[in-house]
Amino acid sequence: MIRRTLLLVLIAGSMFAQVSFERILNAAKEPQNWLTYSGGVQSQRHTGLTQITPDNVKNLEQQWVFQARSLEKFEATPLVVDGVMYTVQAPNDIVALDAVSGRVYWVYAYIPSPAARPCCGMINRGLAILGDTLFMGTVDAHLIAVNAKSGRPIWDAKVANAESGYALTHAPLVVKDKVIVGTAGGEYGIRGFIAAYDVKTGKEAWRFYTIPGPGEPGNQTWAGDSWKTGGGSVWVTGSYDPELNLTYWGIGNPGPDWNGDSRPGDNLYSDSVVALDPDTGKLKWYYQFSPHDEFDYDSVQVPVLAEMQWKGSQRKVMMWANRNGMFYVIDRTSGEFLQGKPFAKVNWLTGFDEKGRPMRAPGKTPSTEGTLIYPGNQGATNWYSPSYSPRTGLFYIPTWENTSSIYFKSPVEYVEGRQYTGTFPRMTVSFRGNIQNQITEDEGYGAVHAMDPKTGERKWEFKMADVTESGILTTATDVLFVGGREGNFFALNARNGSMLWKAALGGIIANGTISYSVNGRQYIAVAAGNSLFTFALRQ
Amino acid sequence: MKVWTFALSAGVLLAQHSFTRADIEDGSRLYSNTCAACHGANGDRVSGVDLMHGRFRRAATDDGVAAIIQKGIPGTAMPPHALTDFQAGSIVAYLRSVAAEAGSVSGTGDVARGKAIFEGKGACQTCHSVRNSGSLVGPDLTDIGAIRRAPQLERSLLDPDGEILAQNRTYRVVTREGTVITGRLLNHDVFTIQLMDAQGPRSFQKANLKESGFVEKSPMPSYQGKLSAQELADLVSYLVSLKGIQTQ
């Protein structure tokens, strides 16, 4: 009782200190907070908190629930700063809550233009913070700065035209004095871009088109005017390496998605990772995962950065589990391809040439009669955050195993603001998720695949019945948290994949779990269905 | 409480719903964000249309007006709006509340002079913020001109105690250790209280408080007699000009 009173006293002061960029760079030094979408600029989604262990995780109990007043998928990862949690109620309401009680401090309600038309739901994946300012991209392609204390807007920058199919759905990334976002809309024949805005004024500082224009290197990888409507969307947050001063972003599919006839060539920088100078937006290097893609294999995954012994020397690597079914290790200084191994069933390639270019399996392209491709249109993984644990040295992938699609080729015509895709592939697994799961293991299943990046071999698999859209969190005590579409939330042993604890949350888990602590008590937060749940050890 | 506010404080009752003061404010914000570009702040910019005097050409009932808002008027520049029934209703409630409100401001003011008084002689920023500069103690006034009209603003300055909105009430807590904290009440339940003070939002466990309760008098001083009639008009004009942040 005495201890409890002491804690309560401390809770009374949720003191705000400004979140400097220095603090963001050193996020690992304050594991009580969750300062960026992926928990730090290296995007490992790994917490240094140690109160919850494999032994006591069974004592987790629910602390509070925030029920969003929204029927859209809850894809936002919250931020936690000194006892205050910030999340987004879809589409674009920022909610500030007391991270201990779950009580709402304020709501900043943004009403997007009715012209907003993101392909896959009026959703948002989260926020960025710098100083006392929160940043949010909106489904009608605005970037908004909001005072983190009062919840009042500071500036509103129109990034692109919602009418033409542009949207912002990912959490922005702050690098120094700029906030970086990229545009979604790959199904609408947009020309995607990544842009940086001055954190104070909202003025655009630079813009990098994900599809090079005439005269720029790479434009020749598009025929005729196809570059103008080539897609190349961006809808998941990038990473940053302060030593190299490079920011890394994954780029989405080329358009039209399922018929590449109008765009012969590699279609740079679709389905690539680009390394940009965050001060100027200049391209330093790129690596293209799926040249001339016709399977909707967006490379919109979180780039996970780590330092690693690689074949005898210390290297700055980037690990990447791609929607196309391959798990890559790339040298993030130069963009050199180091390794690519399948982490799920794949049939569209036979291997890589010495430069790391995939060698295509013959006949594996969309056709009028239909072609069966593994992985399917939703990919062997997708935007769901993976996790890397520097302790186990393993890379954990939210996986759709055994999924396939039959791809058909049909004519496509571009009309501004309309979908520009081709024929939607036939899939056995629902794209949105059904309330009853009736798929068989042969048609596909969800799993966590724990991969050894040094060999590309799988160490263990944890199977679910339905597929998963959940991100993964690992802890400094080797506990792994993950959920799935079936609404189960699991704690696993990160070393061997055995299940330690579970909770039935009853809704699709389509976001990344986080951990934070307030006054010495560690919490786990995850959204399922339309609600955000928090857990802590029973006291 | 002043008579003029009675109808508003009691909420506006439309056919199906009643709208609280906060709902009407939301309606007012929706109006300035989605309608004012065409209809103007006073609802009379489209010729032949006057939205703020309680009579509509094309609709006899409130539900009829809400339907026009949602569906638009085909063949005219009035577009459909993707608003829920409740949102459309809250705009109608706002339009009604403006129509119901009597009173006019004394004199016309100058926005630039008003701004100077706000930041200088009035010392309003010691308690209020406009566009991210100022204090969190009082309500943020960045879009006060979009949600209040001149007569209400003038009354706020002359008689701050006259009507204090639910979201602006001041609350005071004393912790077991004797620390006193006052701030605007944001939220509370059986166990906890959330306040906004100069530092930002804060949460307290009731079990840890010695005392807690509303502060009757507004911390805001009355400016009756402290500002000349002209200064007051200038200040009100400045407040009316604060319509929120603009998209850039």
- What are the residue boundaries of the structural domains of chain B, listed by start? 3-103, 111-159+220-241, 170-214
Using alpha carbons, list the distances in angstroms from residue A54 to A420, A478, A497, A536, B144: 48, 7, 11, 14, 53
Residue-level pLDDT at A13: 38
Q: What pLDDT, on a 0 to 100 scale, did the predictor assign at position A14? A: 42
Using CB atoms, pick whichever of B189, B199, B203 lies closest to residue A100. B203
The yes-or-no verdict on residue B13 having pLDDT over 80 is: no
Predicted pLDDT of residue B11: 47
* pLDDT tens, position by position, B17-41: 688 888 898 898 899 888 988 898 8
**Which position has the higher pLDDT, A16 or B117?**
B117
Structure tokens at A531: 């609600």
Mean pLDDT of A199-220: 97
Nearest to B208 among A9, A16, A148 (CB): A9
> Could you check whether B3-103 and B111-159+220-241 share the same CATH topology?
yes
> Hey, is the C-beta of B46 within 8 angstroms of any chain A C-beta?
no
The whole-number pLDDT of residue B167 equals 86
Select from B176, B186, B245 the Cβ nearest to the Cβ of A156: B245
Backbone φ and ψ for B172, nearest 5 degrees, come out as -130, 135
Cα–Cα distance for residue pair B175/A100, rounded to 1 Å: 18
Average pLDDT over residues B188-215: 96
Question: Residue A409 to residues A89, A259, A404, A501: CA-CA distances in angstroms?
Answer: 38, 6, 16, 46
Instruction: Mention every residue, 6+ apart, whose C-beta is less than 8 A from residue A355.
Output: A337
pLDDT-above-90 percentage for chain A: 92
Residue A10, pLDDT above cutoff 70: no
Q: CA of B123, closest CA in chain A: separation in Å?
A: 20
Q: Is the pLDDT of residue A298 over 70?
A: yes
Q: Would you tell me which CATH number, out of the four given (1.10.760.10, 1.20.1630.10, 3.40.50.1780, 2.40.10.120), belongs to the domain B3-103?
A: 1.10.760.10
Task: Report helix angle B150-158 to B229-241, nearest 10.
Answer: 130
The answer to whether the Cβ–Cβ distance between B179 and A157 falls below 8 Å is: no
- Label residue B102 by pLDDT band (50, 70, 90): low
In this structure, the strands spanning A46-47 and A473-475 are parallel
Mean pLDDT of B228-238: 95
Cα of B219 to nearest chain A Cα, Å: 19
Mean pLDDT (chain A) is 95
Q: Which residues contact B178 (CB under 8 A, 6 or more apart)?
A: B210
Instruction: Quote the ipTM score.
Output: 0.89
Question: Which of A491-500, B45-54, B211-220: highest mean pLDDT?
Answer: A491-500
Q: Is the pLDDT of residue A11 over 70?
A: no
Q: Which residues lie closer than 8 Å to A129 by C-beta, 6 or more apart?
A: A19, A35, A79, A81, A86, A135, A148, A174
CATH of domain B170-214: 2.30.30.100
Contacts of residue B92, defined as CB under 8 A and 6 or more positions apart, other chains included, come to: B14, B27, B62, B65, B66, B69
Q: Locate the chain B residue with the closest alpha carbon to A159.
A: B248
User: Which of A249-253, B37-41, B103-107 tops mean pLDDT?
Assistant: A249-253
Considering only CB atoms, which chain B residues are within 8 Å of A8? 205, 207-208
pLDDT for the residue numbered B4: 28
Which range of residues forms the domain containing residue A63? 3-537
- How many residues does this entry show for chain B? 248
User: Angle at the Cα of B118 (from B117 to B124), degrees rounded to 5?
Assistant: 130
Pick the closest to residue A452 from A357, A321, A280, A284 (CA basis).
A321
Phi, psi at A152, each rounded to 5°:
-100, 140
Which CATH number is A227's domain given?
2.140.10.10
- Could you count the other beta carbons within 10 Å of the beta carbon of residue A401? 21
Band (B87; pLDDT cuts 50, 70, 90): very high
Burial A323-352 (b: 16+ CB within 10 A, else e): bbbbbbbbbbbebebbbbbbbbbbebbeeb
How many contacts does A have with B, using Cβ atoms within 8 A?
104
Whether A2 shows a pLDDT value over 70: the answer reads no
CATH topology for the B111-159+220-241 domain: Cytochrome Bc1 Complex; Chain D, domain 2 (1.10.760)
Mark which residues 9-38 of B lie under 8 Å from A by CB.
26, 30, 33-34
- The total of structural domains in chain A comes to 1
Q: Indicate which residues of A carry an active-site annotation.
A: 296
Lowest mean pLDDT among A231-240, A244-253, B94-103: B94-103
pLDDT one-digit tens code per residue, A71-127? 999 999 999 999 999 999 999 999 999 999 999 999 999 989 888 989 889 999 999
pLDDT at B184: 96
Instruction: Please report, for residues A92, A295, A462, A465, the alpha-carbon distance to residue A373 in angstroms, rounded to integers and kept in the order given.
Output: 36, 8, 24, 21
